[in-house]
Structure 1
Amino acid sequence: MPPGLERSSSVASQRIADSLRRRILAGELEPGTRIRQEDVAESLRSSRLPVREALRILSAEGLVTLRPNSGAWVSVMDLAECQATYKLRERVEPLVLSESIPHLTSDDLQRIEELQREIEAGPDVDRLLALDRDLHLITYSRCPIDQLLTMVQRFWNTTQHYRRAYARLVDPSGREVIIFEHRLIIEALKRRDPVDAERFLVGHIRRTRLALAQHPELFVRR
């Protein structure tokens, strides 16, 4: 393929991947939904080649499952798989946070505070999830180990739907717990204290894992 066409195809693939990623993370495409290449190509006015590449990108991110002779499907988890992912998160994300803390800038900390204030203002569930995701990923963003950051991104992608379903069940007291845990983590970040930050984050993730285990109905495919 000529270089110009290759670059054009790459740009188109990324554009399509961005569009599908937004729809999956927003819950517009639920777990188990089949993604038909021809439908995506038609809706985005594209050929099938960049659609196929976009689906490979999303598969690498954990958002899409590619099945031989069957096509592409939005990734789905059962309760056991979700619990296993959360146990991995309890071990990997504190390490990523600890590696990130020395490199967080004053601008990073200011942005984290802004996100937390918006969370405390009581947004709707979808906005809360977006803010929570942004807050945590910023706290990890200065980790110099790209492999760990890729793992964390995949964890968040694959569990997004189930966090949304659970968040709709959380009452005001549950939101207060989330806010309190965030505040503990943020104060540890300000102190540049990786020991406390790791400890508070482990508890934050574990609490959600244990709560999800009490709602197996969230993992029943409709």
Structure 2
Amino acid sequence: MTTILGGSRTPSASSAVASRRVADQLKTAILEGEFLPGSRIMQEELATRFGASRLPVREALRILQSDGLVTLRSNQGAWVTRLSMDECIEIYRIRERVEPMLIEDSMQRLTQEDLDLILRLADELDHTRDIGEYFRFDREFHLESYRAAQMGYLHSMVERMWNATQYYRSAYTRLVDHQGSRWILDAEHRLLADAIARNNVEDAKQLIETHIRRTRVTLADHPEIFDIEGQDGTTVRSSSM
């Protein structure tokens, strides 16, 4: 329980707040591609960047490990989680089976406000040309469709798998965008949003399974996506860092 003395937080409570702040900011940086899979995460650099001491940074890394974004190695340090092609394909096979269950559970409880947001996000996906915005809208669209599910363990597992595969999903989207095939994704998003709005559970389950399988098959056909530069243990950053 948080103790307040003289209107201020105790040091332990303050450290927990700092850890959560660092975890949230680092999570955003990883999901937006600032740190590539396999990048070494230097705690000193994070402490300087986020204006925090080493203790909150270490706790933030533990939080992100539980989120599937960071891999901690005993006495070695922290890295952004990297997947082999086989590992990524395995996760996608699991997602094909479990996300239809999650969307079915969620659809029973979605409000009209939820439905309006899902339809609006599908429209944004259909019209945005900026690939960075597309990634954000895509993630929000799918996670919003699962938001009302009460299967807490499954919900956490699915979000963790989304986190671990974020880089590979974005690489897939860039690939199909370059090939001129993004219209297929847009059509699938519109059909899924329509099925959710009509409360047609079977259509929604089939569509999400097909949507995930299409990504899996394409990733399996492009092993070069998993050949990420800088996997020799050195720190890897994008040009925006």
**TM-score interval w.r.t. the shorter chain?**
over 0.9
1:25-58 CA distances to partner (integer Å, 9 max, x unpaired)? 0000001111111111122221111101100000
Q: Name the residue aligned to 2:216.
A: 209
Identify the structure with bigger relative contact order (alpha carbons < 8 Å, sequence gap 6+). Answer: 2
Give the whole-Å Cα distance in 2 for the aligned partners of 1:70 and 1:204.
Answer: 38
Task: Map 1:163-178; keep pairs closer than 5 Å.
Answer: 163-171=169-177, 173-178=180-185
Instruction: Indicate yes or no: 2:63 matched with 1:39.
Output: no
Q: From 183, 190, 201, give the equivalent of 1:183.
A: 190
Q: Name the residue aligned to 2:97.
A: 91
Give the whole-Å Cα distance in 2 for the aligned partners of 1:182 and 1:165.
Answer: 18
Give the whole-Å Cα distance in 2 for the aligned partners of 1:84 and 1:68.
Answer: 26
Q: From 199, 204, 227, give the equivalent of 1:197.
A: 204
1:65-91 CA distances to partner (integer Å, 9 max, x unpaired)? 000111010000010000000001001
Give the whole-Å Cα distance in 2 for the aligned partners of 1:177 and 1:150.
Answer: 28
Give the whole-Å Cα distance in 2 for the aligned partners of 1:96 and 1:159.
Answer: 18
Give the whole-Å Cα distance in 1 for the aligned partners of 2:52 and 2:127.
Answer: 41
Instruction: Indicate yes or no: 2:160 matched with 1:154.
Output: yes
The structure with the greater share of residues assigned to helix is 1
Aligned residues: 221
Give the whole-Å Cα distance in 1 for the aligned partners of 2:199 and 2:180.
Answer: 29
TM superposition shift of 1:122: 2.9
What TM-score, normalized to structure 1?
Answer: 0.96
Instruction: Indicate yes or no: 2:142 matched with 1:136.
Output: yes
TM superposition shift of 1:173: 4.4
Identity %: 47
Which 5+ residue runs of structure 1 have no aligned equivalent?
Answer: none
What TM-score, normalized to structure 2?
Answer: 0.89
Give the whole-Å Cα distance in 1 for the aligned partners of 2:147 and 2:206.
Answer: 19
The answer (yes or no) to whether the contact 2:71–2:78 under 8 Å persists in 1 is yes
Structure 1 residue matching 2:181: 3-state secondary structure: helix
TM superposition shift of 1:221: 2.8
The answer (yes or no) to whether the contact 2:123–2:190 under 8 Å persists in 1 is no
Q: Name the residue aligned to 1:221.
A: 228
Structure 1 residue matching 2:58: 3-state secondary structure: helix
Give the whole-Å Cα distance in 2 for the aligned partners of 1:11 and 1:123.
Answer: 37
Give the whole-Å Cα distance in 1 for the aligned partners of 2:39 and 2:16.
Answer: 25
Which 5+ residue runs of structure 2 have no aligned equivalent?
Answer: 4-9, 230-241
Cα RMSD, aligned residues only: 1.2
Structure 2 residue matching 1:66: 3-state secondary structure: strand
Q: Which amino acid aligns with 1:212?
A: L
Deviates more, 1:41-50 or 1:61-70: 41-50
* Segments ≥4 residues shifted beyond 3 Å: none
Give the whole-Å Cα distance in 2 for the aligned partners of 1:26 and 1:204.
Answer: 22
Give the whole-Å Cα distance in 2 for the aligned partners of 1:62 and 1:215.
Answer: 23
TM superposition shift of 1:174: 1.8
